[in-house]
Amino acid sequence: MRNYLNTTFLKNKRNKNMPIIQALLKYGQDNFAVLIVEFVEVEILPLRETHYITQLLPYYNVLKQGYSSLGYKHTEETKKILSELAKNRVHSLSTKVLISRALIGQNNPFYNKNHSFESKVRMIEANSKKSVYVYNSFRELLVIFPSVNTLAKLIHSNHSVIKNNIQNETLFRGEWYFSYLPFNLSDTPLISKWNSNDSKALILEMNKHSHIKKAIFAYNIKKEFIIKFEGVTHAQKELNINHDVIKKHALLNIPYKGYIFSYDRLKDELER
């Protein structure tokens, strides 16, 4: 079987570059196993796959997110190879021991779990595009848009600006976070449909803030919220504090003349 795998499947250059194929050739098939970590409803398969990718950080996984591969069809050649692999797979004793250990007690994926997924179903749209999760400054999930381009068009922004906010985890227009992944797996959007009237109202609100680039949150020494300024210049005029001083202390989150400045809401405020 191994010769068949080498001469047929690996002739394809695309397959040769796959880390898992290289590892199979180097270490042998007996040192690998396929385990089912969880049984889930098909609608939330991408969400659960994303969870395991981000939590376990598998070395051989070529995707950074869990996208639905539903509808993908293998070639007849690949089907034949996979079928032969399944029929000829015999695990070594050491591999069987590892499988056994992996499924004992708390390591078992079903240990102390209930399988209520109804709220999670509403969180994800099972498609091949990157959905965008929109949170407010309190990190409450508001709505999920099907793609960056869809969101960018509605809020009169552009793809690169939104991607930059996602990558740097910074507030957009001083009030909203964007993310490719939910901050918490239990997050349920307050607005169930991105094209609903509630979502349209949110978009209008976001467009009203188009003049804001980077808001500044001001707190007292006890980290109690005082006011949000539309920017450093606004804070400078209101507080008569040098522009560069505000920026410096906002980055460091250290007190200055009775104020603590921040580009985000402080953790203490979020927990109240």
pLDDT tens readout for residues 228-269: 999 999 999 999 999 999 999 998 888 999 999 999 999 877
Contact 12, 78 (CB under 8 A): no
Domain ranges of the chain: 2-107, 129-208, 216-271
Please return the burial class of 182, using the count of CB atoms within 10 Å of its CB with bins 0-12, 13-18 and 19+.
buried
Q: What is the pLDDT of residue 200?
A: 96
Cα–Cα distances in angstroms (integers) from residue 62 to residues 17, 19, 184, in the given order: 11, 8, 23
Which residue bears the tokens 């507080």?
239
Residue 7 pLDDT level (bands cut at 50, 70, 90) = very low
Among 125, 126, 190, 134, which Cα is nearest to 157's?
134
Percent of residues, the chain, with pLDDT higher than 70: 61
Q: Which H or E element spans position 78?
A: helix 76-88
pLDDT score recorded for residue 240: 94
Q: What is the pLDDT of residue 189?
A: 92
Kindly report the three-state secondary structure assignment for every residue of 209-265: CCCCCCCEEEECCCCCEEEEECCHHHHHHHHCCCHHHHHHHHHHCCCECCEEEECCC
pLDDT tens across 160-191, in order?
999 999 989 999 999 999 998 888 878 889 99
What local confidence, expressed as pLDDT, does residue 11 receive? Answer: 46
Cα atoms in the 13 Å half-sphere on the side-chain side of 15: 14
Reported confidence tier of residue 115, pLDDT bands at 50, 70, 90: very low
- The predicted model scores a pTM of 0.54
pLDDT of residue 3: 45
Please classify residue 261 by burial: count the beta carbons closer than 10 Å to its beta carbon, then call 0-12 exposed, 13-18 middle and 19+ buried. buried
Report which of residues 150 and 55 the model is more confident about.
150
Specify the length of the chain in residues. 272
Dihedral sign, CA of 39, 40, 41, 47? negative
* Tens of pLDDT, residues 48-91: 777 677 666 666 665 555 554 444 455 666 566 556 655 555 55
Structure confidence at residue 269 (pLDDT): 72
What is the SS3 assignment for 188? coil
| 145 band by pLDDT with thresholds 50, 70 and 90 | very high
Structure tokens of 218? 């001001």
Tens digit of each residue's pLDDT (9 = 90 or more) over 187-225: 889 998 999 999 999 999 999 999 998 999 999 999 999
199, 246, 228, 253: which is closest to 138 by C-alpha?
228
Distance CA 26, CA 80 (A): 23
Rg value, the chain, Cα: 25
Q: What is the mean pLDDT of the chain?
A: 75
Greater pLDDT, 7 or 226 = 226
Q: Is the pLDDT of residue 105 over 60?
A: no
Query: Which among 44, 43, 9 has a CA at the least distance from the CA of 25?
Result: 9
Is residue 184 within 8 A of residue 54, CB to CB? The reply is: no
> Which of 29-38, 91-100, 123-132, 215-224 has the highest average model confidence (pLDDT)?
215-224
Q: Angle 242-247-253 (CA atoms, 0-180°, nearest 5)?
A: 120
> What single-letter amino acid sits at 29?
Q
pLDDT for 215 equals 94
Number of helices (H) and strands (E), helices first, in the chain?
A: 13, 6
